[in-house]
Structure 1
Amino acid sequence: MPVFKAPDYAGHEQVVFASDPDAGLQAIIAIHDTTRGPALGGCRMWAYPTEQDAIADALRLSRGMTYKSALAELPLGGGKAVVLGDPGRDKSAALWRAFGRAIERLGGRYVTGEDVGTSVADLEVVRTATAHVAGIPEGGAGDPSPATAFGVFVGIQAAARRRLGGDSLAGLRVAVQGLGHVGLCLAEHLADAGAELVVADLAAERVETAVGRYGARAVAPARIHAEPVEVFAPCAMGAVLNDETIPELRAPVVAGSANNQLAEARHGAALAERGVLYAPDYAINAGGIINVSHESTRTGRPYDRQAAFARIARIHDTLERIFEIADAERIPTSTAADRLAEERLRAA
């Protein structure tokens, strides 16, 4: 499929295909928009079924990063990288150094970070070939997952208050789909707030951890979206909100960390029609990028965790504004978020 005619192509400034056969590297780096600053976005490693699936993921995720940074009013643009391969089998130091060289050739237009299938340890190897890396200990912020989880937590508070009333999450049932670095950290925040957890993950040991630590109830990954809960929190891969799952939702609120939760843009309207309050993914999961934007390597000042997390807490206010726009204009929250992000892009 040609990139320019791909359904997810949205005026991207640059799409780079990087290859190093000796290192086993096949990667796609998509730079969507640099109006507000260099394109920052994580590197995802995944065993994509086809190259077209990888291209689509890079295009969608990079656009989401542009809107995420715009909503958070950061001096950053949007980009994303995907590395084709099994993260449990295909990683090597040579691969990550080759990936770093590919980033370096872009001259700072793209800054990478951690995402699904990659780790801080991987990024430290990338850092040996390029300075354009965020979310490593050198900058002070380190792993962005706790920051992302905190942002999702305050976002759930905002959505629950808007849809369900009340300021407390105590006694609310929350279904967390995916217990990776972000999902498990989110589960801890929710448990500390008194929420009752339902969890699912493909990795049995992660489920056992959540059950043992937080008294969660485990269910099958394929059915967690249909659980009778107050909040459904998708924290795994994207496209979980689609023609099959939306009619089966029993939660009045959807608020989670996964990127590209809507399989298609029209599914935002489908959620609104069912009376489900959706916290747009790139609004609620911005904690990680907000945190790394405070790194010393980006600001020239020592990393200040307190200031970074105070900024992340403002995700609550951003979502409140999105909900207000959606109500006033009688549009889906996904459309309201797009409009607000586009306003901030035009202002830049």
Structure 2
Amino acid sequence: MHVVRGARSDIPIVVAVHSTARGPAIGGCRIKPYRSVGDGVADALRLSRAMTLKCGLAELPHGGGKTVAVLGDAPLTPPVRENLVLDIAETIRTLGGRYRTGPDIGTTPQDMAVIHRLTPGWAFCRPETLGGSGNSSAATARGVRAALDAAVAHVRGTRAVTGLRIGVIGYGSVGRLLGRSLAADGAEVVVTDRDDRLRAQVETDGLTWSTSDLLRQDLDVLVPAATGGLLSPESVAGCTIPLIVGPANNQLTGDHVATLLHERGTTWIPDTVASAGSIIHAVCREELACDEPETGARIDAIGAKVDRILAHARTHGTTPLQAAHALATHHQPATA
């Protein structure tokens, strides 16, 4: 764990390195407000731990890490933000290659280009024009769709989503791609987002806008596609949705919530599996010299991974989360 205050921006920067057993730690760079530096540290620790699990399940030569820049009440002006990215690059450079970053909430492929230039290449997802793998949204959505189709087959006996009522929480770039894809395949898609300005786009896309708590709605599938922490003991208490699968990171407030969902008859697909398309795409294209068809096939294989997780959970009487940990451990060397 590395916590520093940026020399230029005066903003606290947290870098958590959870494991380097498989190779250098990787994980996105998040710039967002927190109530305290301690909250930012806790978020970085949770996310870095999840990244280790994600890399293990995806069988990538990396462990998990995370960068969090802890914003306060002061506005993040363009000059301060520019200095913050420079501070983040400097912090990553001091780790000597143990950690490599990528875009996350509050950062962009352009930011990764700056970090890549100022470190010896320790940033993924630069713009394609600069030699990177570009925006990861399409890869993330492709992986989530593979996970969703496999999970639907487990719950309903068929991969078809035609006629299903599917709720999407969050209509950012990934949520939008998923909503459109599911509607194109015949699902009735209901969307909610904190940003009411997105309603026009949702309705233009032929989807239904809702201001209701989708966890309490009569849905066949729920797709969390916003920030984490959605699923808590309180929020799942009245949930009757058969299947939850989506790209949002750290959807559970604690691992015990997976047990609560399982006891209520809800199949929850760990986000560490469902959202792995982005890191598979970045690592395959930028490190492993895979072409797009091979990379796409590895992303689509997330569906087969979900099949294995659910089969393991059924055979051993565990939750999908416990099954995911068991399978990741099978591929994961001892943590360094």
| TM-score between both structures, scaled by the size of structure 1 | 0.90
Per the alignment, in what secondary structure is the counterpart of residue 194 of structure 1?
Answer: coil
Letter in 2 for 1:217: T
Contact 1:255/1:280 (<8 A) preserved: yes
| 1:58 to 2:49 alignment | no
| 1:218 to 2:205 alignment | no
Per the alignment, in what secondary structure is the counterpart of residue 112 of structure 1?
Answer: strand
1:104-148 deviation line (CA, Å, top 9, x unaligned): 111111110011222212222323322200011234421111101
Contact 2:170/2:225 (<8 A) preserved: yes
Deviation at 1:21, TM superposition (A): 4.2
| 1:135 to 2:122 alignment | no
Q: How many residues align?
A: 329
Contact 1:139/1:295 (<8 A) preserved: no
Structure 2 residue aligned with 1:22 = 8
Deviation at 1:50, TM superposition (A): 1.6
| 1:33 to 2:19 alignment | yes
Deviation at 1:347, TM superposition (A): 8.0
Contact 2:8/2:87 (<8 A) preserved: no
With over 3 angstroms needed to count, the CA separation of the structure-2 counterparts of 1:88 and 1:70, relative to structure 1, is farther
Contact 1:93/1:125 (<8 A) preserved: no
| 1:100 to 2:92 alignment | no
| 1:262 to 2:252 alignment | yes
Structure 1 residue aligned with 2:277 = 287
Per the alignment, in what secondary structure is the counterpart of residue 207 of structure 1?
Answer: helix
CA distance in 2, matches of 1:128, 1:293: 18
* Percent pairwise identity: 35
Per the alignment, in what secondary structure is the counterpart of residue 117 of structure 2?
Answer: coil
| 1:49 to 2:35 alignment | yes
Deviation at 1:72, TM superposition (A): 0.6
| TM-score between both structures, scaled by the size of structure 2 | 0.93
Per the alignment, in what secondary structure is the counterpart of residue 333 of structure 2?
Answer: helix
| 1:314 to 2:298 alignment | no
Greater mean deviation of Cα atoms: 311-320 or 48-57? 48-57
CA distance in 1, matches of 2:58, 2:109: 23
Per the alignment, in what secondary structure is the counterpart of residue 346 of structure 1?
Answer: coil
Structure 2 residue aligned with 1:122 = 111
Contact 1:322/1:340 (<8 A) preserved: yes
Contact 1:16/1:28 (<8 A) preserved: yes
Deviation at 1:173, TM superposition (A): 1.1
Structure 1 residue aligned with 2:141 = 149
Letter in 1 for 2:104: D
Per the alignment, in what secondary structure is the counterpart of residue 4 of structure 2?
Answer: strand
Deviation at 1:23, TM superposition (A): 2.0
CA distance in 1, matches of 2:178, 2:249: 15
Q: Which aligned pairs between 1:157-236 and structure 2 lie closer than 5 A?
A: 157-213=149-205, 215-220=206-211, 223-236=213-226
Which consecutive aligned stretches of 4+ in structure 1 deviate over 3 angstroms post-superposition? 86-91
1:21-70 deviation line (CA, Å, top 9, x unaligned): 43233210000001111111101111011222111110010010001010
Q: Which aligned pairs between 1:293-304 and structure 2 lie closer than 5 A?
A: 293-296=283-286, 298-299=287-288, 301=289, 304=291
Letter in 2 for 1:241: L
CA distance in 2, matches of 1:41, 1:151: 17
User: Please, what is the CA RMSD of the aligned residues?
Assistant: 1.8
Deviation at 1:312, TM superposition (A): 0.3
CA distance in 1, matches of 2:199, 2:141: 17
Structure 1 residue aligned with 2:98 = 109
Structure 2 residue aligned with 1:276 = 266
Per the alignment, in what secondary structure is the counterpart of residue 157 of structure 1?
Answer: helix
Contact 1:237/1:258 (<8 A) preserved: yes
Runs of 5+ consecutive residues of structure 2 not aligned to the other structure: none
With over 3 angstroms needed to count, the CA separation of the structure-2 counterparts of 1:114 and 1:207, relative to structure 1, is farther
Per the alignment, in what secondary structure is the counterpart of residue 264 of structure 1?
Answer: coil
1:282-333 deviation line (CA, Å, top 9, x unaligned): 011100000001223x23x4x6222111100000010110001110111111
Deviation at 1:204, TM superposition (A): 2.1
Letter in 1 for 2:105: V
Deviation at 1:82, TM superposition (A): 0.6
CA distance in 2, matches of 1:81, 1:321: 31
1:197-243 deviation line (CA, Å, top 9, x unaligned): 11111122333212211x2111226x122121100111111121111
Letter in 1 for 2:251: Q
CA distance in 2, matches of 1:192, 1:233: 16
Deviation at 1:167, TM superposition (A): 2.1
With over 3 angstroms needed to count, the CA separation of the structure-2 counterparts of 1:38 and 1:307, relative to structure 1, is same
Deviation at 1:88, TM superposition (A): 7.7
